[in-house]
Amino acid sequence: MVSIKDIAKHAGVSISTVSYALNGNPKVTEETSKRILAVAKELNYVPNAAARTLKKRETRIIGAFLTTFEGAFYGELLQGMKEEMNKHGYDLVICSGTQSHRMLPEGMLDGAIILDRLFSDKELLLHANRGHKLVVLDRKLKHDNIVQVLLDNKAGATFAMEYLLRRGHKKLYAVSGPEGSFDSVQRLAAARQTVERGGPGIRYEELPGNFDKASGAAAARRIIAEYDGPVGVFCLNDEMAIGMYHALKGTPFRIGEHVHVVGFDHIDIADYVQPRLATIDYSERRWGAVAAEQLIKLIEGGSSAEHERIYVSLVEGDSVGRANG
Amino acid sequence: MVSIKDIAKHAGVSISTVSYALNGNPKVTEETSKRILAVAKELNYVPNAAARTLKKRETRIIGAFLTTFEGAFYGELLQGMKEEMNKHGYDLVICSGTQSHRMLPEGMLDGAIILDRLFSDKELLLHANRGHKLVVLDRKLKHDNIVQVLLDNKAGATFAMEYLLRRGHKKLYAVSGPEGSFDSVQRLAAARQTVERGGPGIRYEELPGNFDKASGAAAARRIIAEYDGPVGVFCLNDEMAIGMYHALKGTPFRIGEHVHVVGFDHIDIADYVQPRLATIDYSERRWGAVAAEQLIKLIEGGSSAEHERIYVSLVEGDSVGRANG
DNA sequence: TTGTAAGCGTTATCAA
DNA sequence: TTGATAACGCTTACAA
């Protein structure tokens, strides 16, 4: 491995001069600098990250933590983060699994964006207390070193339920997400509230779900088992809605005719299924970019970072028809 | 920040003893060790990654490089890698973009898995020459520090084309991937070879594509413009096949009746479209696990790592019918 | 303008 | 069994 020491030797200067030259410090003459840079290039010099980090206490790397790489990989979200980070000279790496949590306290990351229920609130607060900067996308958490950038779940769930009500549906279901999910809790609460405000004569039931296709299919089977007329179903994410499509295939029940479905997330496949799935849309890319932006503010400490909300909108689809045919 | 120096002070021992104790070195007494560990816990000590790396020249972190985060296509692959790496005490981070390439030469990674055309062969060979260990999933490259773990594209493309021929199709198309794509080149070559061996009376044409939905749709439009009877189409990936479904919607042409389509990759959506898409399947998870396994072998140097091939199989689907109705 | 030297937090060698 | 110390490669006062 070639170090600044080697460059110094070859160029006949001291290591500090080399360091200055490499970092573009104007103290060193144009001439010496040129010579040093040339030698560096010739020797194929690459700085050592560990040494630089040890000294400067920063890596210019941000970690985004996901629960798993599987399923919806949040492609656009991550791309949004990455582009924003790169603009500011940071690199983004994606991590998953408790084993990788060590990277934060060990100082390999300048900050982290959390979308991962495997991090407990307690653990995050611990890190924040140690001075690590965090953005959370999956919970509310109050700390000077943490900012939240959250989806407007309340608005989304309200749009979805109001859409079903507007179409005349009187028997409604909500299919929930997994136990610990923040999104699920928020969406469910808003759905419930919308029903309560929807006036009398509305039947409403909540079915357990898990944000995956299988649980959507299971919910569909429950719904048709007790079917006594058109129903409106708010699946708390699209994945489950797709599972519902699957389960109804080969039964006499039709989506958009007997079972009227709204999802959440506007995943790719929602536009390709028949009938097209009504869903709640938002810009993943923007979500990522905003999260990145706030984290950088937090790290660089200039203007104070602020909690942000990501707005959502309803995408109508043929998966929801009128209650009376 | 609390360092081993602080622990040493509090425990009344030297820093070397602390280091030994923390690393479970049996030289130090059970008793002293216990005391030191207790102090470490009390002070909330966390080792500093940069310092350790500087000294030991290893991070126990592997990077997987993707061209982009978009498209949910590599989830299982990454999960397969991660699980295998974790088993061996390594962490996996996912990186994207040329900016992040620095992590490899700067020594922040013990090795890398490459699925990213933004890395040129030249660049990879440079890294390999410097002693960095690499696994490539998207090209052939010969070097002692590089092993290939490649999809069996040749078998897959052959299966796809033979399937169309077996169903009696005489007019065939292949829709290719983007220029530089290794997968595209390999699949196309195998498709061509299969046609040549398929006997006389077969018309075959190659259409340009880009592995995305839009280019699949464009190919579909070209095909129906010159339509004169049932055609068999091998889309070099599923994404383009889905684009073809989309383009044919609202035309008199039906998939599986006029236009018979086979894809490649067996993405999720392939099972959900109507009619179900015939495609080439393989275990992404296994692909990732094998790549990880080979990289670790390469890094740890014990048994010699070897180039590997990932096997594929045909999944039949209603998107392909017989040529004569 | 350039050089000297201290120090970042570890590990590891050698002495005690 | 424990301690003193050099070294890893780099940045950065401070001195020359």
Q: What protein residues sit with their CB closer than 7 Å to strand C?
A: A 12-17, 20, 27-29, 31-33, 51, 54-55; B 1, 3-5, 15-16, 19, 22-23, 45-48, 51-52, 54-56
What six digits make up the tokens of A264? Answer: 């959440």
Cβ of residue A98 closer than 8 Å to a chain B Cβ: no
Distance between CA atoms of residues A65 and A76, nearest Å = 15
Q: Which of A48, A74, A272 sits opposite B246 (nearest CB)?
A: A272
The pLDDT of residue B128 is above 90:
yes
- Across the range A298-309, mean pLDDT stands at 87
Q: Which nucleotide is nearest to B54 (CA to C1')?
A: D8
Give the pLDDT band (50/70/90) at residue B98. very high
Looking at chain A, list the stretches that DSSP marks H as alpha helix, in order from N- to C-terminal side: 4-11, 15-22, 30-42, 49-56, 75-87, 121-129, 153-166, 182-197, 213-225, 238-248, 284-300
- Across the range B260-282, mean pLDDT stands at 94
Looking at B24-168, list the stretches that DSSP marks H as alpha helix, in order from N- to C-terminal side: 30-42, 49-56, 75-87, 121-129, 153-166
* Per-residue CA distances from B237 to B160, B175, B234 (Å): 11, 9, 8
**pLDDT number for residue B325:** 63
The pLDDT of residue B72 is above 60:
no
Taking the CA of residue B193 and the nearest CA in chain A, the distance in Å comes to 34
Chain mean position to CA A36: 44
Assess contact for B212 and B73: CB atoms under 8 A: no
What six digits make up the tokens of B293? Answer: 């396994």
**pLDDT number for residue A159:** 98
**pLDDT number for residue B100:** 97
> The whole model's pTM is what?
0.93
Distance between CA atoms of residues B188 and B264, nearest Å = 12
- Across the range B47-51, mean pLDDT stands at 97
Give the pLDDT band (50/70/90) at residue B103. very high
Cβ-based neighbour number of residue B23 at 10 Å: 9
Hey, which residues does B204 pair with through a beta bridge? B172
CB contact (8 A) between residue B245 and residue A272: yes
**pLDDT number for residue B56:** 96
The pLDDT of residue A273 is above 90:
no
**pLDDT number for residue A305:** 87
The pLDDT of residue A302 is above 70:
no
Distance between CA atoms of residues A278 and A261, nearest Å = 7
Contacts of B273 in chain A (CB under 8 A): 272-273
What six digits make up the tokens of A130? Answer: 């140690």
* Distance in Å from the first CA to the final CA of chain B: 75
Taken as a whole, chain B contains a residue count of: 325
How does DSSP assign B120-136, residue by residue? Answer: -HHHHHHHHHTT--EEE
Q: CA dihedral in degrees (A274, A275, A278, A283; nearest 10)?
A: 30
Give the pLDDT band (50/70/90) at residue B269. confident
**pLDDT number for residue B268:** 84
Give the pLDDT band (50/70/90) at residue B273. confident
CB contact (8 A) between residue A274 and residue B274: yes
What six digits make up the tokens of B56? Answer: 């030991």
- pLDDT digit string, tens, across residues A19-68: 999 999 999 999 999 999 999 999 999 999 999 999 999 999 999 999 99
Domains observed in chain A = 4-47 (1.10.260.40), 57-151+284-311 (3.40.50.2300), 153-281 (3.40.50.2300)
A132-147 burial: b if 16+ Cβ within 10 Å, else e? bbbbbbbbeeeeebbb
**Probe site for chain B from A3, A103, A106 (most B CB atoms < 10 A):** A106
